[in-house]
Amino acid sequence: MKAVNTELLDLLGQGGRRFVVPIYQRVYSWDYEQCEELLRDIVTTGAREDDYQHFTGSIVYIASDAGTRTSREPDLLIDGQQRVTTITILLASLAALLKTKHEDKQDPIGGFSPEDIHEYYLTNKRKTGDEYFKLILSQYDKDALKAVVNGAPLPRSESRVVSNYSYFVDRLAEFSHDQLADLCRGLSRLVVVDVELSRGQDDPQRVFESMNATGKGLSQADLIRNFVLMDLPTVEQNRLYEDYWFPMELRFAGQNRQSFDAFVRHYLTTKTYKIPKQGNVYDAFKEYVFNQSQGGTDRNEIVRDLHLNATWFANMALDQEMDSELASRFYDMDQNVAYPFLLRLYADFDAGKLGRDEFLQILDAINTYLFRRAVCDIPTNSLNTTFVSMLNTVDDEHYLESVLARMLTLPDHRRFPKDVEFLSGSSGLRV
């Protein structure tokens, strides 16, 4: 590993430099607030009369095998993509503005003409295809950033690249010539720790974990994706990501993004019969993968199984179920405590072990159980473990009967309230 202080624009401006964000990295996620904060810091830095520099964190990447910028192999950016991407978007916005609004004026400062910005910091002249771009993002954001750099029509996309580019374009249009000069000086004073890992020698996953040990800025699911895909051969990475992981992420896009961590927690509970702690999902997943590998299960199988369970979870929890009768049961249910058991039911339903009518009856029974307990004001603190305890009591030969029998014979604190108790509890309700 080599780690040195360097100016960010010098890092981007090296001849032939290409950064590629690996497919296992999370999507670009900075919002307006973070963009405005960065812009304010840059302008403030540039306005100072001394040679003050602004530190913006570390950039960690796996260097190309050839060790030369003439190589066709890019450097893999494994930490710092949010900052590098935002600076790239800002530079593209600045170049677009200078090319139009300020075309009759001199450049704000030397070395910051639209042509200079493109040639040194955004593109590799005389290259074609992906090699033309200094930065290539993962699949979700890739086309959006290409359009931004090329000045092409922006795609209709939920990518933050598009919205943040529009934001910077609007903000810079408000700048005076002096403010643009401060911006350019500030960009030239951005300093990062340049951390270069040697391919085949350093362990990028360990470096990544140590730099994100507190989980700051990364979800448990982000860490899991990196862990699953990072050390696989590139061809295998691409196949698993495109066939399984990316379609799975699309199910959790937008406002559902935060549900992915919860899904993995329920998935692990279903597989291990143990409920991981909220902040310990990543470690629990690594332990699960290790135990599975000891039994001969490889990561390909785990990713495929995770994808399948994510589909069932999205159907139940994210209103993606196409069967209207099933969907109505899922919608009515306070399911959070029951998800591990519901994943088991859906797996057996999908495999043909559980018939549709029986599945509907079990869902009705679970809804009734949860509703009656709520009416009777029975404490809910045992419900998580109640449904976990039901995972290994199903008789495949007598599926419906075994589930209902288990629910009706649960011990006192987990009981299924009988009619007398339910009617007594409901008598105090206001209608």
> HEC states along 273-325?
CCCCCHHHHHHHHHHHHHHHHHCCCCHHHHHHHHHHHHHHHHHHHCCCCCCHH
How confident is the model over 226-246, as a mean pLDDT?
A: 82
Cα 231 from chain centroid?
A: 18
Per-residue model confidence as pLDDT tens digits over 121-169: 999 988 889 899 999 998 889 999 999 999 999 888 889 999 999 999 9
DSSP 8-state symbol, 133:
B
Dihedrals phi, psi of 54, to nearest 5 degrees: -110, 120
pLDDT for res 214: 43
Q: Which helix (H) or strand (E) holds 6?
A: strand 2-7
Question: Over pLDDT 70: what percentage of the chain?
Answer: 90
Beta strand pairing call for 75-79 and 54-62:
antiparallel
Find the mean pLDDT for residues 26-41.
Answer: 92
Summarize pLDDT for 346-405 with one digit per residue, the tens: 999 999 999 999 999 999 999 999 999 888 888 877 888 999 999 988 999 999 999 999
pLDDT of amino acid 216: 43
Residue 407 has a pLDDT of: 92
Tell me the average pLDDT of the chain: 86
pLDDT tens track for 62-110: 887 644 444 567 888 888 899 999 999 999 999 999 988 655 556 788 8
pLDDT-derived band at 115, boundaries 50, 70, 90: very high
Query: Tell me, what's the pLDDT at 47?
Result: 92
Number of neighbouring beta carbons within 10 Å of residue 392: 8
Is the predicted pLDDT of residue 190 greater than 80, yes or no? yes
pLDDT tier at 197, thresholds 50, 70, 90:
confident
123: left (phi over 0), alpha (psi -120 to 50) or beta: beta
